[in-house]
């Protein structure tokens, strides 16, 4: 464990980045997952991958392993909700790799042999997963086989088993990444563009048709003469079922009672602000006072004039109209009260260019003082950083130790004092990463800014207020009595608004502006159409009563679910064809576009260059572009029934340019290959019918 701790000290700022990149590999030991797939009822499974059921218990074990890896590399056992989600995503992707991707790669003839793996782990072709990891680098940031061997040796003596978990993770990251590299290469190599294809691509993109045309826009109104039969809808559905694949979802309605402070609650908050205002204005222990009394802690942020408007305009006006003092108590919406105390005023730049030297935790104060003396005597900062700094990753613009430009919104935690530091004068700074010698080498023009302590209190609902809203929700739930007809009657009786939502996914946890409402989603997925919930409490501040109005199963949508959309689409096609027939009848015998435009009460669009190779971005119907590409020159053609409208046109001539080069064609082919390679895994997952039910549990 001491090895990893030493590495964390040495790697400094880079460690958190490395682990984030490592987690994106989504890899875990291939030999440890066989027990993760025991067939259980789908309701109790986190998902299914290539026919393998993933139970909650076994999935959680994988999550625990990834959590250990994250803790060991970052040195932090606390994870935010976002980090926990990233870890769960990594564990899930590792299962997809194990039971789907590597199997498909093997089916394609790809192998990663034992000798090959040894070379990747510790041989002459060591994997970047290892060589670029600070854990396996020396003090100069170079890959070190000695550091690698030290980790391997430490695995054998680590009684906690955590180091073995980390080493297994590294090995299997290398193993799976090699499959990805080989499969990607195989796929890329198969995307061959022969000389004939290249020539055709260049010609298609350089050939343009100069066209004059008349467009009669489509009018989307109901026409009783156009009918779409049930048989036509059924046939279209049968022929295009694959277009209607869907994830499981629910249609629902809900009412919500939000607990908001009463007038008495607001007055109580205002009185509380008044009672502590004098102490806030005079206390020397501002940080402690705010930690005890305010929703906003003391901040070292330097505010520019106008920035406080995002909090309160009256607060901004006071701060930037006074040299010192504490503002009156102000409020924008009666629910939140503020007072601001001016703590400091200074000329502060928006941006600073910073370089630093980071010392390891084991370095003495004498060493730090010695390095400072060397710098003050004029020694090159970059040379000293190269020799001494534990951070070997920071080298912006080629200068060792250069962090680069920093702003208040893009600031290394703890580096805030550098904003007001003197240019060209190194100073010592302590942060969570260790002790630094920091120097500001450049800065933007300083402007007047202020540090402000902000006392903030929001009005909170009393128990009496809470009970009042709960009583309202309870009354609604009692009237609804678990039945949809009663629910609609309760909406009318109590005059509340029922929020409709369609196609709610199982992962949804947001309703309007209300977050963390996953319990509502779980309820609608566990109940039948027509059922109405009891009160569902969200964030202890919202009371939901929900009802299910529709169920859409995973897979191909049913005819009933799609028939309205199909009917509209077929109607639009028939309407376009009828419009084209009407135009043809009106212009029969005409051979002049201007005459045709006058007859149709529209205008002629002239000298429009149309390229068949670029169907997108021209603002024209693909049907029209296709018709232009094969039309004879100098002849009135059409009508063409497009979705935008009906076209009548004449090709005046065709030109061949040279603006689309061979490099353009190759770049376009590479771009398409890159896009297709990104679709490899999603297509595999679709083909294997991967089911991800994690939203039921997390």
Q: Is the pLDDT of residue 443 over 90?
A: yes
* Cα distance between residue 145 and residue 138, in whole Å: 9
**Region 403-423 average pLDDT:** 92
21 — pLDDT class (breaks 50, 70, 90): very low
**Region 604-633 average pLDDT:** 80
Lowest-pLDDT choice from 13-17, 127-131, 383-387: 13-17
Q: Is the pLDDT of residue 73 over 80?
A: no
Specify the pLDDT at position 12.
42
Specify the pLDDT at position 392.
85
Specify the pLDDT at position 614.
57
Q: Is the pLDDT of residue 676 over 90?
A: no
Specify the pLDDT at position 230.
96
* Cα distance between residue 677 and residue 602, in whole Å: 46
11 — pLDDT class (breaks 50, 70, 90): very low
Cβ–Cβ under 8 Å, residues 545 and 570:
no
* Cα distance between residue 345 and residue 347, in whole Å: 7
pLDDT digits (tens, 9 = 90+) for 109-148: 999 999 999 899 988 888 998 888 888 887 667 888 888 8
pLDDT digits (tens, 9 = 90+) for 259-271: 999 999 999 999 9
Cβ–Cβ under 8 Å, residues 50 and 100:
yes
Length of the chain: 698
Two structure tokens written together for 585: 């009848």
Cβ–Cβ under 8 Å, residues 179 and 94:
no
Looking at beta carbons, which pairs linking 180-184 to residues 24 or more positions away fall under 8 Å? Answer: 180/101, 182/105, 182/110, 182/112, 183/101, 183/104, 183/105, 183/108, 183/110, 183/680, 184/677, 184/680
- Please choose, from the candidates 353, 372, 371, the residue with its C-alpha nearest in 3D space to the C-alpha of residue 415: 353
Lowest-pLDDT choice from 137-141, 228-232, 684-688: 137-141
Phi and psi at residue 246, to the nearest 5° = -145, 155
Lowest-pLDDT choice from 30-44, 240-254, 367-381, 612-626: 30-44
* Cα distance between residue 161 and residue 533, in whole Å: 47
Specify the pLDDT at position 366.
93
192 — pLDDT class (breaks 50, 70, 90): confident
Looking at per-residue pLDDT, the higher value among 670 and 13 belongs to 670
Helix (H, G, I), strand (E, B) or coil at 549: strand
Q: Is the pLDDT of residue 32 over 80?
A: no
27 — pLDDT class (breaks 50, 70, 90): very low
Phi and psi at residue 544, to the nearest 5° = -100, 145
Looking at per-residue pLDDT, the higher value among 386 and 676 belongs to 386
**Taking the CB of residue 170, how many other CB atoms lie within 10 A of it?**
23
Query: Counting beta carbons within 10 angstroms of the beta carbon of residue 194, is it exposed (0 to 12), middle (13 to 18) or buried (19 or more)?
Result: exposed
Query: pTM here?
Result: 0.68
Two structure tokens written together for 446: 């300083």
Q: Is the pLDDT of residue 9 over 60?
A: no
Looking at per-residue pLDDT, the higher value among 275 and 642 belongs to 275
HSE (side-chain half, CA atoms, 13 Å) at 446: 15
393 — pLDDT class (breaks 50, 70, 90): confident
- Please choose, from the candidates 568, 563, 564, 646, the residue with its C-alpha nearest in 3D space to the C-alpha of residue 221: 568
Two structure tokens written together for 231: 């048989």
The rounded mean pLDDT for the chain is 88
pLDDT digits (tens, 9 = 90+) for 663-673: 888 888 888 88
Number of H helices, E strands in the chain: 24, 21
Q: What is the DSSP code (8-state) at residue 354?
A: E
39 — pLDDT class (breaks 50, 70, 90): very low
Two structure tokens written together for 289: 């006072």
């Amino acid at each position: 464990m001491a090895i990893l701790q030493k590495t964390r000290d040495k790697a400094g700022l880079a460690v958190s980045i490395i682990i984030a990149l490592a987690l994106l590999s989504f890899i875990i030991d291939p030999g440890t997952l066989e027990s993760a797939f025991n067939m259980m009822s789908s309701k109790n499974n986190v998902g299914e991958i290539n026919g393998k059921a993933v139970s909650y218990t076994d999935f959680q074990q994988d999550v625990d392993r990834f959590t250990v890896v994250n803790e060991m590399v970052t040195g932090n056992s606390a994870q935010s909700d976002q980090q926990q989600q990233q870890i769960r995503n990594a564990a899930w992707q590792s299962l997809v790799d194990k039971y789907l991707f590597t199997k498909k790669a093997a089916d394609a003839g790809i192998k990663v042999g034992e000798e090959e793996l040894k070379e990747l782990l510790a041989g002459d072709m060591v994997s970047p997963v290892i060589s670029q990891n600070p854990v396996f680098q020396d003090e100069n940031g170079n890959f070190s086989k000695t550091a690698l061997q030290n980790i391997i040796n430490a695995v054998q003596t680590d009684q906690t088993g955590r180091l073995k978990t980390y080493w297994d993770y590294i090995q299997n990251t290398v193993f799976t990444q090699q499959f990805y590299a080989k499969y990607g290469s195989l796929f890329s190599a198969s995307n061959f563009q022969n000389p004939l294809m290249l020539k055709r691509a260049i010609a298609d993109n350089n050939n343009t048709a100069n066209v004059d045309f008349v467009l009669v826009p489509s009018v989307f109104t109901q026409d009783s003469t156009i009918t779409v039969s049930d048989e036509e809808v059924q046939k279209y559905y049968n022929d295009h079922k694959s277009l209607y694949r869907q994830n499981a979802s629910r249609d629902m309605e809900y009412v919500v009672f939000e607990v908001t402070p009463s007038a008495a609650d607001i007055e109580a908050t205002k009185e509380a602000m008044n009672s502590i205002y004098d102490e806030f204005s005079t206390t020397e222990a501002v940080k402690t006072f705010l930690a005890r009394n305010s929703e906003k802690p003391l901040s070292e942020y330097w505010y520019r004039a106008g920035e406080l408007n995002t909090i309160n305009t009256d607060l901004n006006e006071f701060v930037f109209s006074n040299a010192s003092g504490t503002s009156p108590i102000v409020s924008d919406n009666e629910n939140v009260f503020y007072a601001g105390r001016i703590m400091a005023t200074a000329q502060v730049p928006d941006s600073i260019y910073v370089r630093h030297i980071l010392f390891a935790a084991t370095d003495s104060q004498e060493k730090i003082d010695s390095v400072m003396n060397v710098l003050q005597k004029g020694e090159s900062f970059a040379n000293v950083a190269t020799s001494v700094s534990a951070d070997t990753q920071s080298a912006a613009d080629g200068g060792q130790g250069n962090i680069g430009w920093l702003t208040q919104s893009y600031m290394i935690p703890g580096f805030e004092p550098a904003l007001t530091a003197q240019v060209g004068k190194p100073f010592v700074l302590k942060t969570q990463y260790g002790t630094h010698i920091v120097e500001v080498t450049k800065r933007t023009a300083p402007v007047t800014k202020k540090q402000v302590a902000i006392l903030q209190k929001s009005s909170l609902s009393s128990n009496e207020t809470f009970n009042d809203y709960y009583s309202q929700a309870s009354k609604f739930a009692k009237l609804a009595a678990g039945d949809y007809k009663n629910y609609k009657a309760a909406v009318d009786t109590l005059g509340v608004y029922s929020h409709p939502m369609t196609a709610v996914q199982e992962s949804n946890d947001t309703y309007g502006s209300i977050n963390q409402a996953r319990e509502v989603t779980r309820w609608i997925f566990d109940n039948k159409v027509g059922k109405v919930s009891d009160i569902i409490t969200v964030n202890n501040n919202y009371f939901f009563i929900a009802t299910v109005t529709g169920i859409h199963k995973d897979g191909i949508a049913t005819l009933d679910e799609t028939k309205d959309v199909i009917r509209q689409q077929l109607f639009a096609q028939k309407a376009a064809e009828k419009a084209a027939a009407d135009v043809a009848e009106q212009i029969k015998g005409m051979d002049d576009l201007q005459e045709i435009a006058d007859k149709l009460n529209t205008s002629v669009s002239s000298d429009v260059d149309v390229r068949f190779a670029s169907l997108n971005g021209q603002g024209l119907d693909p049907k029209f572009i296709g018709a232009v590409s094969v039309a004879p020159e100098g002849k009135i053609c059409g009508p063409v029934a497009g979705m935008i409208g009906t076209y009548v046109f004449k090709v005046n001539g065709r030109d061949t340019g040279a603006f689309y080069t061979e490099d353009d064609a190759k770049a376009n082919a590479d771009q398409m290959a890159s896009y297709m390679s990104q679709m490899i895994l999603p297509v595999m997952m679709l083909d294997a019918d991967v089911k991800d039910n994690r939203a039921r549990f997390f």
